[in-house]
Amino acid sequence: MTRDKKDLRIVFFGTPEFAVESLDRLVKGGYNVVGVVTMPDKVGGRGNKVVQSAVKLYAVEHGLNLMQPEKLKDPGFIEQLRSLKADLQIVIAFRMMPEVVWAMPPLGTFNLHASLLPKYRGAAPINWAVMNGDTETGVTTFFLKHEIDTGDVIQQRKLPIAETDNVGVVYDRLMMMGADMVIETVDAILRDDVRPIPQEELCDSGMEATPAPKIFTETCHIDWNRDSRSIYNQIRGLSPYPAAWTEIADVAGKLHHAKIYATALPSDDALARIISTDGAVKPGVMTTDGRCLKIACGDNRWIEITSIQIAGKRRMTTEEFLRGFRL
């Protein structure tokens, strides 16, 4: 027997924009969201301004019951959460949750994850899929259990990744696809039509469990000794945020921190004409004709920089950059 969605009490956990789309679908779809949990406000940026999460801004705008616990094990928060008598909890792009929280509702707690689990378990699945040059990714809903991103899979859907896609493009597509799947998963739970599959079975059928660790500053540093294709994928897998970076020397030899947002790989013929095969051009060496900027990579090929930002300046095209920067 199908339950009415208005009778299903839902508590939603999330923080960034990626989670807002799903929350919006739930609210506008008439589902009974009795509480929203997000991260506490932070102070940061220029002027030490208070930064509020995208989920908080949405919850306040729509008059939802908002909670921002400092610690998820705080007795006061646990009691407040328990008082909501949730039937189901939904988690999207949030922090690790203690069992006392995720095991609370009778219908469980499910998570929307931006990969085809068990592949890319962890904090940055979209970045790593693009950085590794994958041609396919997707979204997964699964029930939470103790180990991170290891719970039984409810639903999955695939998304192709084009060779020119950056992480921002893939993020937006997965956000929309994921919101569709959240609604589908809730509706399946309402119909009692959920048959979760243990991830161990997916691994046994040939899917490999791989990590997707948090992105750090060193992850974003470009090592020009790597091959051009790997560097190309790294840059688009970190664009527009947090952005791959390198250091560029001006005509006086001063080094400038530079974020690289987009590149292009010339054809093999063009590369062969530019770099000799005797290794005379070292990785990291730059060349320009005043309009284009190319950097030598470890496989004896050039990669062309098409979008760049020097510290303290705005993001610009390479042609704009070269008008005011002397190499």
Percentage of the residues of the chain whose pLDDT score is greater than 90? 82
Domain ranges of the chain: 5-204, 217-324
Handedness of CA 300, 306, 307, 311 (dihedral sign): positive
Taking the CA atoms of residue 225, residue 230, residue 231 and residue 237 in that order, the dihedral angle to the nearest 10 degrees is -150
Output the six-digit token pair for 320.
Answer: 């704009």
In angstroms, what CA-CA distances link 219 with 57, 113, 122, 163? 30, 21, 15, 21
Is 217-324 CATH 1.10.510.10?
no
Query: Is the pLDDT at 277 greater than 70, yes or no?
Result: no
Higher pLDDT, 269 or 252: 252
Residues 273-295, mean pLDDT to the nearest whole number: 79
- Do the domains 5-204 and 217-324 sit in the same CATH topology, yes or no? no
- CB of 156 closer than 8 Å to CB of 118: no
Alpha helices in the chain (DSSP H): 17-28, 54-61, 75-83, 99-102, 125-131, 167-190, 199-204, 217-220, 228-236, 268-274, 318-324
Percentage with pLDDT > 70 across the chain: 95
Mean pLDDT of 58-76: 97
Task: Write the CATH number of the domain with boundaries 5-204.
Answer: 3.40.50.170
Provide the pLDDT confidence category of residue 206 given band limits of 50, 70 and 90: confident
Between the two ends of the chain, the Cα-to-Cα distance in Å is 71
> What's the pLDDT tens digit per position in 14-41?
999 999 999 999 999 999 999 999 999 9
Interatomic CA distance for residues 296 and 291, integer angstroms: 17
Q: What is the pLDDT of residue 272?
A: 46
d(CA 202, CA 157): 14
Instruction: Report pLDDT for 3.
Output: 85
Contact in structure between 137 and 114 (CB atoms under 8 Å): yes
Does residue 77 register a pLDDT over 60?
yes
Indicate the pTM of the whole model: 0.94
Span 113-152, pLDDT tens digits: 999 999 999 999 999 999 999 999 999 999 998 888 999 9
Block residue for tokens 């530019």: 274
Q: Is the dihedral of CA 44, 112, 175, 242 positive or negative?
A: positive
Q: Is 88 buried (19+), middle (13-18) or exposed (0-12) by CB count in 10 A?
A: buried
Q: What is the DSSP string of 123-175?
A: S-HHHHHHHTT-SEEEEEEEE--SSTT-SPEEEEEEEE--TT--HHHHHHHHH
Most confident of 42-51, 97-106, 264-273: 97-106
